[in-house]
Amino acid sequence: MPIGKRAAAEFFGTFWLVFGGCGAAVLAAGFPTVGIGFTGVALAFGLTVLTMAFAIGHISGCHLNPAVSVGLVVGKRFPASDLLPYVVAQVVGAIAGAGVLYVIASGVPSFDVHAGFALNGYAEHSPGGYSLLAGFVAEVVLTAFFLIVIMGSTDNRAPKGFAPIAIGLCLTLIHLVCIPVTNTSVNPARSTGPAIFAGGWALQQLWMFWVAPLIGGALGGGIYSMLFGE
Condensed to tens digits (0 to 9), the pLDDT of residues 123-160 reads 999 999 999 999 999 999 999 999 999 999 999 999 99
Instruction: For residue 62, report the phi and psi dihedrals to the nearest 5 degrees.
Output: 55, 60
Query: pLDDT digits over 168-217, tens only?
Result: 999 999 999 999 999 999 999 999 999 999 999 999 999 999 999 999 99
User: CA separation (Å) from 58 to 5, 52, 178, 207?
Assistant: 11, 10, 30, 32
What are the respective helix, strand and coil percentages of the chain, to the nearest 5? 70, 0, 30
Confidence of residue 35 (pLDDT cuts 50, 70, 90): confident
Task: Please state whether the predicted TM-score (pTM) of the whole model is above 0.85.
Answer: yes
CB 185 within 8 A of CB 145: no
CB 156 within 8 A of CB 81: no
- Please state, in angstroms and rounded to a whole number, the distance separating the CA atoms of residues 149 and 71: 12
Q: What is the pLDDT of residue 32?
A: 77
| Average pLDDT in the chain | 96
Q: What is the pLDDT of residue 31?
A: 82
Report domain 3-228's class.
Answer: mainly alpha
CB 135 within 8 A of CB 179: no
- Please state, in angstroms and rounded to a whole number, the distance separating the CA atoms of residues 200 and 214: 23
